Amino acid sequence: MSAKPKLHYFDGRGKMESIRWLLAAAGVEFEEEFLETRDQYEKLLQGGSLLFQQVPMVEIDGMRMVQTRAILSYIAAKYNLYGKDLKERALIDMYVGGTDDLMGFILMFPFLSAEDKEKQRAFIVQKAISRYFPVYEKVLKDHGQDFLVGNNFSWADVHLLEAILMVEEKKSDVLSGFPQLQAFKARISSIPAIKKFLEPGSQRKPVPDDKYVETVRRVLCMYYDVKAN
């Protein structure tokens, strides 16, 4: 297996994007093998590489890891982005869980019909403004520190910035009522490893397009219609 982590997924965001973000934040170089055909996917299945018959799959430290949350937890712990004790880890898990919920509303957005996309866009923005962003705004205001947990850069910060940028793609001024989050976004985006990942030419993936959607549908045999929340 390669010395660098090797990511097996589509050439697009999906569930792998948070893994790319976290590896980049840790300053870890990684390789990618993109799924483009059903035969590639079947080969992984037949070879026993996909424990639960699904991707993402990451080759790292002699393991073939599946389940996105397990992969992220491993990377966070390995690269000291998971807090200094059990209490901090619990806080990180809670904050990551919240941003996961928010990003989950966006994950299937590219697969919706044009009509459903407009409904889902409004739904995403409403949930961000009313349920999720107020939590992080209050956390940052109450403790007055630069980062969400323990005043140290962690997985929670990476995940929140990713979520903020995803929602801003749906409504560019979504942070207008959240001054703490505006400052947080600027602060985290200026961290060298993050800044590098945000620059053109990095392994960060663009907003999913029709080609990405068609590839995912073809490889996974997704012939049903996805519905909005």
Predicted confidence band at 50 (pLDDT cuts at 50, 70, 90)?
Answer: very high
Residue 135's pLDDT is: 98
Q: Where in the chain is the domain with CATH 3.40.30.10?
A: 6-79+198-220
Mind giving me the DSSP string for the chain?
A: --SS-EEEE-SS-GGGHHHHHHHHHTT---EEEE--SHHHHHHHHHTT--TTS-S-EEEETTEEEESHHHHHHHHHHHTT-S-SSHHHHHHHHHHHHHHHHHHHHHHTGGGS-HHHHHHHHHHHHHHIIIIIHHHHHHHHHHH--SSSBTTB--HHHHHHHHHHHHHHTT-TTTTTT-HHHHHHHHHHHTSHHHHHHHSTTSS---S--HHHHHHHHHHHT--SPP---
Residue 1's pLDDT is: 45
Q: What is the pLDDT of residues 76-130, one digit of tens each?
A: 999 999 999 999 999 999 999 999 999 999 999 999 999 999 999 999 999 999 9
Q: Domain 6-79+198-220, CATH 1.10.287.3510 — does that match?
A: no
Q: What percent of the chain has pLDDT over 90?
A: 95
Q: Where in the chain is the domain with CATH 1.20.1050.10?
A: 86-190
Predicted confidence band at 63 (pLDDT cuts at 50, 70, 90)?
Answer: very high
User: Which CATH code is given to the segment(s) 86-190?
Assistant: 1.20.1050.10
Q: Is the pLDDT of residue 223 over 80?
A: no
Q: What is the pLDDT of residues 136-190, one digit of tens each?
A: 999 999 999 999 999 999 999 999 999 999 999 999 999 999 999 999 999 999 9
